Every structure is written in structure tokens, then in C-alpha cells.
Amino acid sequence: MPLATLKGEVSTEQEDAPRNSRTGFFFINGNITRSDVGNTEMVAGTIETSAVGLKYYKGGVEVGDILALEREPGNAHDSYAIKVLNATKNHQVGHIPRGVACILAPLLDQGFISVSVAPLTSPSPTALSLLLFIRTIYHHISNGLIPTLTGCSGFRQAAPFMF
């Protein structure tokens, strides 16, 4: 199977090449190569959004707190619900808006993407702006994932960068 290379020509020599087992990279004739480019994780893009429903949860967010997202398929009001959690203090602070969650939830459920989150602005009791980082493998992007994500308000496609 041909290997993609970062410099030099495509090589198929892999049997005795020194390999970094953690990253899957091979070193052949001074070139760094990788055999599984299609399975390389990369940032597909970002989505600027906000947490909704903050007034329904007692827990807040302070500067320095770590946020996380969690699917909530059993939510009685929205089967696409995605919770916004304060991972530092172990409590829920809100949800991702329904218009964003209805696009991300099926992709999360099928394992096509992973999402990490960071606050965009200093948190307040009534508003929390978020930046979602959408990660996927190159194979999913080359097979049409980006048009699905462009349906999300606030989506910005990342520049193609794989390693």
C-alpha cells in the first residue's frame, strides 16, 4: 500500500522502517511518512454559538473553568440535546442551541465527529458564548462531511491541515 509523504516521493517501503508507535509515522530515507492519512484526525472547523437555558441551572462558569459537552438522547424535550457541562465543578450549565445540536447530534452518535468546547467571552449568569472545535478524520471530510456542517449557523471551515 502506498504511503503519503510529507516530503519526497510516495514510498511503499515499510517493512524495516523505524516507526514511532505512538503516532504511526515512519522514517524512510530521511522522509517522514504515514500509512493511514485517511484516518488522520484533524479539525474540520469551528462553530461560534452560545449556551442556552442557563437560568434553569444553578451552576455557573467562572474564568478558568473547563467546559465539556455530553449528548443527552433521552431528553424529553429534544432527542438531539447536547448538555454544556462545567467539568471543573461537575455540574450542568446549559445546552447547545437546538439548531446546532440537531446537526451535531447525529454526527456524534455515529462517531463521525468529536467536539470540544471553550468559552469565547467571560461568563456571566445570563450569557455564555462558546467556540466548538469540530474534529474528524480526513476520510469523513473527503466524503462530504463539510456540507452537512455548513448547515450550522456560525460554522467556519478550518484550513486543510492534517498532521
Per-residue pLDDT of the chain (163 residues; tens, 9 = 90+): 333 333 333 334 444 434 434 344 444 444 444 445 556 777 888 999 999 999 898 878 888 889 999 999 999 999 999 999 999 999 999 999 999 999 999 989 988 888 999 888 776 777 899 999 998 876 676 667 777 777 777 788 876 544 3
pLDDT of 51 reads: 93
pLDDT of 17 reads: 39
Q: Own/partner pairs for 129-133, CB < 8 Å, 24+ apart?
A: 129/48, 129/49, 129/50, 130/48, 130/49, 130/50, 130/51, 130/67, 130/84, 130/96, 131/46, 131/47, 131/48, 132/46, 132/47, 132/48, 132/49, 132/69, 132/96, 132/100, 132/104, 133/43, 133/46
pLDDT of 62 reads: 85
pLDDT of 155 reads: 81
pLDDT of 52 reads: 92
pLDDT of 162 reads: 45
Q: What is the signed CA dihedral for 21, 27, 31, 34, rounded to 10 degrees?
A: -30
- Residue 51: name the closest of 79, 70, 75 by CA: 70
pLDDT of 86 reads: 92
pTM of the model: 0.69
pLDDT of 26 reads: 42
- Residue 85: name the closest of 97, 96, 72, 94 by CA: 94
Q: What is the signed CA dihedral for 82, 74, 136, 143, rounded to 10 degrees?
A: -120
